[in-house]
Amino acid sequence: MMRRASCALLLASLLGSPLAAFAQAPRYAFAVVANALSSQSEEASAQRLIDAIGRDPQIAFTVYDGNIKGARETCADHLYERRHDLLDASRAPLVFVPGERDWISCGMNGSGAYDPAERLDFLRQNFFSDPNALGQTPLTLTRESEVSRFRPYRENVRWQLGDTVFIGLNVPDGNNHYLNAGGRNGEFEDRVIANGFWLEHAAEYAKRRNARAIVIFMQGNAMPEHYERPDRFAWLRFHRAPRDGYLELRRSLVKLAEIFRGQIIVVNADDSKLAHGFTIDQPLRNDKGARIENVTRIAFSLRDPLTQWLQVDADMARRTPLRVSVRDVPKHLPLLPAQPSPNTPGAGSSPAMPEMPEVSSMPDVTEIPGMPQSPDVAPATPGASGTAVPSGLPPAGNGVLVPAWPTQGGQNGLNGRNDANGQNGLDGSNGNGGGNGNGNGGNGQPPDPLQPPGAPASGGFAH
């Protein structure tokens, strides 16, 4: 009864939201893009990409996963303002996650030799200044800056859609901005603490909400492809390997997986060339070398970031609810006129935009050329314990299935046991549904200490 009351309160809080249909429906999708802007000449194509995503009625939100500028583009204020306006024109809510080029590369001479920490502060003031995501459709985010101890970290965010909690985390490429020079690595060390707190808080929040999964977006590739056992005597070597700037983050992810027993999906951009645009694997291990089975990584590197996006389709009625695929901008979608430069006469007037057809009326573009079509329900590769384990193989047709999630109803709503049909859960043990859940619902649910006043109970969508 308490769970029914909790669901009723959640639905009631979302009725006035523009995204209420996605929160109530068992099926929705979200898009992920990155590295789409490296020069001013690409702005029109990037705007066309964002417009195409926004015209898909299935897309609940978009995540721009780092790098809104080129490595050698100037880091001047006016460039950030132009890129902000471009992203803010998105029809769908757009969550921006800062990347290496957005602030770390600003220290290079070709980018103006700025102070990277100062440029990060500028991003925080101009891209993350209020509780809402970018875009024309409201999406209220919970920011880590609402905690007084972590006031500067506005870019670390959390929101929820259905029974999935989403996290945006400032983890850039470039060894996480770890500096090898002498002295205190102040920016790096403080951000590592903030990121660790935000992940741990996300785990506790997801447990209280009986969430089935946590999806984390970051720009940097924090998990190596191959595990290397730590060298206990590395301090004796004269030629030591560079210090790993992602070590603390991986330990925080391991702790997250221990607290929250549901599926954890980490999505990050990848600089390497991936033949089919993305790969799915489980590379995270603890300090003893044991694989963390409930953490899955989706690394993507699109062939053409200006005409493609990564799409994740969620269907909560399926036992494997996430399907990953690459989508293309329809070829007959017209190119939008470029925005005038701030120094160009008449820059204040916006050019007339051409009429464009809706994406829903266009041919299906989810098929990857040259790949055979997969059935609607593709069988996952069983592991030793019966768990659906990603193979790391390229996608087939309509996409690759992310590992199966446990059904709700067990401990913290995620028992990791069997569902009613006897299907094996995360630990491969047998039974008929698992134990009793201990997540409270309705009025018994503890309040979120980070929830801003007047925000919806779901921690996500604005009324």
Name the one residue in this structure whose structure tokens are 């299906």. 364
The pLDDT assigned to 103 comes to 96
Contact 310, 66 (CB under 8 A): no
The pLDDT assigned to 240 comes to 65
User: Cα–Cα distance between 390 and 442 in angstroms, integer?
Assistant: 36
pLDDT tier at 379, thresholds 50, 70, 90: very low
- Over residues 298-328, the pLDDT tens digits come to 999 999 999 999 999 998 778 888 899 999 9
| Mean pLDDT computed over 181-194 | 89
pLDDT tier at 82, thresholds 50, 70, 90: very high
| Mean pLDDT computed over 172-198 | 91
Higher local confidence (pLDDT), 194 or 275: 194
Is residue 410 scored above 80 in pLDDT?
no
For 453, how many CA atoms within 13 A lie in the half-sphere containing its CB? 0
The secondary element (H helix, E strand) that includes residue 296 is strand 295-300
| Mean pLDDT computed over 265-275 | 91
Q: How do the domains of the chain map onto residue ranges?
A: 2-231+239-444
The pLDDT assigned to 403 comes to 62
Is residue 289 scored above 50 in pLDDT?
yes
The pLDDT assigned to 448 comes to 60
The secondary element (H helix, E strand) that includes residue 98 is none
The pLDDT assigned to 242 comes to 79
CA angle 165, 310, 57 (to 5 degrees): 75
Is residue 430 scored above 90 in pLDDT?
no
Task: Look at 93-97, 381-385, 404-408 and tell me which has the smallest mean pLDDT.
Answer: 381-385
- Over residues 120-156, the pLDDT tens digits come to 999 999 999 999 999 999 999 999 999 999 999 999 9
Whether the CA torsion 139, 145, 147, 150 is positive or negative: it is positive
pLDDT tier at 243, thresholds 50, 70, 90: confident
Is residue 288 scored above 80 in pLDDT?
yes
- Over residues 334-374, the pLDDT tens digits come to 765 544 544 444 444 444 444 444 444 333 333 323 323 33
The pLDDT assigned to 273 comes to 86
The pLDDT assigned to 187 comes to 94
The chain-wide mean pLDDT, for the chain, equals 76
